[in-house]
Amino acid sequence: MRDRYNTRLMLHQIATSLLIGGMALLITGIQPILFGAMVNEKRMTLDVMGLVIMAEIVALGVGAGLAVKLPLERFRRVVLAAGGLVVVGNVLTVLPLSLVLLFLVRIGTGLAEGVLVWSTACIIVRTTFPARNSGIFSVAQVLIQAVFASVLTSLVMPGYSWRGGFLLLAAAVLVCSMLGAVLPKRLGAVSEASAGPFAWDVARFLPLMIAFLQQAGFGAAWAYFEPLGQDAGMSSLQADALISTVLCVEVVGGLAGTLMSRRLAPAPGVLLAAAATIVSAIGMGMVSRGSIVEFSAFAMVYGFFWPFVMPYQFGLALKSDPSGKVATLLPAAQVLGVAFGPLVAALTIDGGHVRTAATVCLVLTACSAVACVVSMCGSVWKPLQRAAN
């Protein structure tokens, strides 16, 4: 595969970059396991755990956004340095730090993880089929999280608890960072046109807003997935089993989205996922208690379209800005959205009315669909306006 401008990207470099980005996002899937064990051992309270988790996710998104200012001429060095900081952060976490220091360490780790995610986006936009490769990246994320979570819960946590988990995470990131030595030393512009000045406008901002709102909708429901299942009549064991099933469905959805990305345009793909998510949110929020099969069906639709939409969000970003600058900011918008959704849900849930989380998912997803329609209208209106002039 070749860079769309002047850098040759080899297959092993692309695969390594996807692996590094997947490892950077791994923490978002295993935070409940590791920090939950810290709560059980009285290392922190449940409230503090929520703050630490939220802070690291937000820092990850901010790091991915701020990283666009880093020099592409030193791309490999930046990746290796960020990987080293993530390793150090995970090792420091096992030390007997005060809660304030632990909080700062996880924020710093999140910022470095964001830089690694940005580096993957930089590689993806320079491949021949960026939308397809972004879909592969979303599938890789789910697989890495599922495998690592399984290893943690079955092999590491029983004997070494959360300290062993963070050390294993540090070792895994260290190995991936060492593999980063095969990445290009520097990256050129995505296209000749992208070497010039860049100016923001509504058309370039909308893809980021669409991704942010859509991911916020998914995140709002996912954060309360187990309570939603129990409210529908599931036992805790059944709800956990459904979560595992939905993770498997996510892999299928990501593969389907990737395969269809060359046949389905970005905007219709985003709208299809939004419509399906709205239907699933309505279903999860309205099923009667005891309707376990119906709730499970809606939950699997929801899980299918979460990674399905990733290539189309990436395609929208590239369509609005062929230079790739907007696309490299997309992971930041997505991660911040995943953090924003649960926050909105937490602020709107009153008492035990957990189904409000499904309503929040519905509203945020509907807003993303409206933004997508506005984006489509703008792409039609601009050529007509130029023709009239």
Interval 91-136: pLDDT, tens: 999 998 999 999 999 999 999 999 999 999 999 998 888 888 988 9
What is residue 5's predicted lDDT score, i.e. its pLDDT?
Answer: 42
- pLDDT > 70 fraction of the chain, expressed in percent and rounded: 92
Q: Which residue has the tokens 């089993």?
A: 241
Angle at 357 between CA 289 and CA 276, to 5 degrees: 85
Q: Could you read off the pLDDT of 180-232 as tens digits, one per residue? A: 999 999 988 776 555 556 677 788 899 999 999 999 999 889 888 888 888 88
Band (pLDDT 50/70/90 cuts) for residue 2 is very low
Q: Can you identify the CATH homologous superfamily of domain 200-378? A: MFS general substrate transporter like domains (1.20.1250.20)
Q: Which residue has the tokens 């998914």?
A: 218
Is the Cα dihedral 150, 156, 161, 167 positive or negative? negative
Backbone angles phi, psi at 254, to 5 degrees: -65, -40
Is the Cα dihedral 370, 375, 376, 382 positive or negative? positive
CA atoms of 186 and 188, how far apart (whole Å) = 7
Angle at 106 between CA 307 and CA 333, to 5 degrees: 35
Burial of 293 (C-beta count, 10 Å sphere; 0-12/13-18/19+): exposed
The CATH code of domain 11-190 reads 1.20.1250.20
- List the one residue out of 225, 260, 241 whose CA is nearest residue 129: 260
Q: How many helices (H) and strands (E) does the chain have?
A: 14, 0
The pLDDT of 338-366, averaged and rounded, is 88
CATH 1.20.1250.20 residue ranges for the chain: 11-190, 200-378
Helix (H, G, I), strand (E, B) or coil at 229: helix
Half-sphere exposure of 148 (CA within 13 A, CB side): 28
Band (pLDDT 50/70/90 cuts) for residue 149 is confident
CA atoms of 6 and 189, how far apart (whole Å) = 8
Quick one: angle between helices 356-388 and 202-223, nearest 10? 170
Band (pLDDT 50/70/90 cuts) for residue 300 is very high
The pLDDT of 335-344, averaged and rounded, is 89
351 vs 367, higher pLDDT: 367
Q: Could you read off the pLDDT of 3-16 as tens digits, one per residue? A: 444 457 888 999 99
